[in-house]
Amino acid sequence: MSEISSSHIKKIGIVGAGQMGIGIAYVSAVVAKRNVVIMDTQQKQLDGGLKFIDGLLKKEVSKGRLSEAEIPDIKGRLQVTTTTDSFSDVDFVVEAATENPELKAKIFEGLDKAVPAGVVLASNTSSISITKIASSTNRPEKVIGMHFMNPVPVMKLVEIIPGIATSPDTLAVTRHLASDMGKTVTTSNDYPGFIANRILMPYINEAVYVLMEGVGTKEDIDTTMKLGTNVPMGPLTLADFIGLDTCLAIMRVLHSQLGDAKYRPCPLLINYVNAGWLGKKTGRGFYEYPAK
């Protein structure tokens, strides 16, 4: 049997025009040179996403990594929509909606009806069971996890997670597509948090406990970990960048699915989310981010 490739994938559908969805759209159109249709129920979100991509393209031109002549072709590959009607001819779908199991189940149930049979449906979930998501469809063998890291245009990793029913062909074509996007691929079994967040989120959660218990200030916690362990940013800064709501959602998945008290979300993290202090995206988290 010949090696499976992603060359047949000409058009990628993306669900969600948030930071992750727009980042995935960017690498799909710019690096992988695929046509992309981005779906979001909010036109304002789509408009903001296209504006963000435009800013990234201008930055790439200013740094000499893209030429002005390439920009019209790249923009021509991008299409936006508020319904999945435009997904009738896509060859691959990546869902990048909020980290909510019920929402993802609803989305995949709809995609299963809107997208041609045989098309792979990938989820950018960072912790939710791919096997569970796949059960919302009639094509579980074509459902897979494709966990990009934030910010997508910069971070080199894609963590791929096959569910219990995911076929070897689906895994192979997804790995090839991620490579076409310029990413390095790792594969995780379908366990809560996968590899990245099974390790990362308890680390962040413990840093919040250290803050809550008064062991150190947020600045001392971040500086200690940044300079003491040679990470690019401290855990509290990283949490603000990821989004405290996302961190909490992942910790709740780990706690409920693994049943171990060590994954209990820190009460201070819960309070910050309840206050709407979600990090950089809202202007306040553990740190404040004045509007520019």
272 burial via Cβ count (<10 Å: 0-12, 13-18, 19+): buried
Known catalytic membership, residue 147: yes
Cα separations in angstroms, 129 against 45, 164, 257 = 27, 10, 10
281 annotated binding-site participant: yes
Confirm or deny that 114 is annotated as ligand binding: no
Residues 11, 9: Cα–Cα separation, whole Å: 6
218 assigned ligand-binding residue: no
Tell me which H or E stretch contains 13: strand 11-15
Whether 136 sits among the annotated catalytic residues: the reply is: no
Name residue 81's beta-bridge partners.
Answer: 39
Distance CA 42, CA 46 (A): 7
Residue 20 known to bind ligand: yes
**Residue 205 annotated in active site:** no
Q: Is 190 annotated as a binding residue?
A: no
102 assigned binding-site residue: no
Point out the catalytic residue in the list 123, 127, 188, 197: 197
123 is in an annotated binding site: no
214 is in an annotated binding site: no
Q: Which of 6, 95, 147, 188 is catalytic?
A: 147
Active site residue 88: no
Residue 240's alpha-carbon distances to 74, 203, 256, 278, in angstroms, are: 31, 14, 23, 7
* Residue 182 annotated in ligand binding: no
Q: What residues does 14 pair with on adjacent strands?
A: 38, 94
222 assigned to a ligand binding site: no
Give the tokens for residue 47: 């408009």
40 labelled ligand-binding: yes
Catalytic position from the list 127, 159, 188, 205 = 159
Active-site pick, 126, 127, 129, 205: 126
Q: Report how far residue 101's alpha carbon sits from residue 198's, in angstroms, rounded to the nearest whole number.
A: 17
Residue 194's CB is within 10 A of a number of other CB atoms, namely: 24
Residue 42 marked ligand-binding: no
Would you tell me how many other CB atoms lie within 10 Å of the CB of residue 281?
A: 17
State whether residue 199 is helix, strand or coil: helix
Residues making up the annotated binding site for NAD(+) are 16-21, 40, 99, 104, 126, 150, 281
Residues making up the annotated binding site are 16-21, 40, 99, 104, 126, 150, 281
Task: State the catalytic residues.
Answer: 126, 147, 159, 197
